[in-house]
Amino acid sequence: MYDKAFKDKSVQLSFERPNISELARELGVKAPQLYKWRKEFEEFGEGSFPGKGNLKLSLEQEKIHELEKRLKDAES
């Protein structure tokens, strides 16, 4: 299993390098996995790769989630 830092760096390198398959081999992962990480990063940005069952939320979704939580707490 790969940690968040490895995935983040791999995605960053994948945007800098022209040959993703070659990069994947260098990193010891399969190219489709690297493409999957890139897609997740493009969709969720810094919220990507949360690990340990945490939700992946866009920044907007995180804000809505936090506001809903505050509203629920205020109503209690």
Tens of pLDDT along 8-65? 999 999 999 999 999 999 999 999 999 999 998 998 887 788 776 555 666 777 788 7
pLDDT at 75: 86
Looking at residue 45, what DSSP letter applies?
G
Query: By 3-state DSSP, what share of the chain in percent is helix, strand and coil, each rounded to 5?
Result: 70, 0, 30
Return the higher-pLDDT residue of 76 and 7: 7
Q: Residue 30 — φ and ψ, nearest 5°?
A: -85, 145
pLDDT at 32: 96
Looking at residue 28, what DSSP letter applies?
T
Structure tokens at 75: 């109503």
| Terminal CA-CA length for the chain | 41
Q: What pTM was estimated for this model as a whole?
A: 0.67
pLDDT at 52: 65
